[in-house]
Structure 1
Amino acid sequence: MTVVASAAEPDTARFEDPLPAVTVPTLFVLHGADWSGHTYTSRKPRATIMGLTFHFEGALVLPSGARKYAAKDKVRKTAAVKQIQASGTEPGIEERLYGDMSGEAYGAFQKRLLSDFLTH
């Protein structure tokens, strides 16, 4: 039995498009990220970090094709100024910061999904 499986798809996917046929109840999650309009520029390390808005859509699809649950959410993450300042001149801060921001955003959406399932 597969509990969790994931696959990367082109960023052009939207829930208006037909979802693949399923043989077991399947939770589809579409996501993307956009610039939130916020930036932070640092001298040490020399970097400009953007705030991001993460967009999520989730749908539980049954084998009949019926969608029994749908959720949409936006999670905004600003640049972690204290983390940037604490890194000094350490290389690779951008990858770590954006990784942390996306991880926190996915965690927030995951909590939203779990709370919806546990309260219904």
Structure 2
Amino acid sequence: MILKMLWSPRKYLNTQGANETIFKGLIKFIYKTFEWVLLICSLLLLVYIPAQFIFSSLKIVEWWVDVLYVCGAFCGILISRVFRILAIDIERTKDKNFMITLLSVIIALISIVIVIVK
């Protein structure tokens, strides 16, 4: 049910009365949660890079892995801004544009996870 609401929010937001407020609030809460989790993880990733040079107990990896970490962190910060925009503009978002944005965010999240794991 929650995935259906995220996939086509206009269908659920067009209902009248209390249901509209509940669905709108739930969708905004989910987007805000995604935004803050992604932002915190990205900032922690940016802190990890200098920390590995300061503390000798951490393993120092190749320079290109550090570049991937930093790029992944900045992508995470940018994607968290997308979630903020989606949470603010949920009423004006059309279904087609919303699905394209959601798919691009999911693909970017998967690529960030791959970068972090490697």
Same fold (TM over 0.5): no
State TM-score, norm by structure 1: 0.28
**Structure with the higher strand share, 1 or 2:** 1
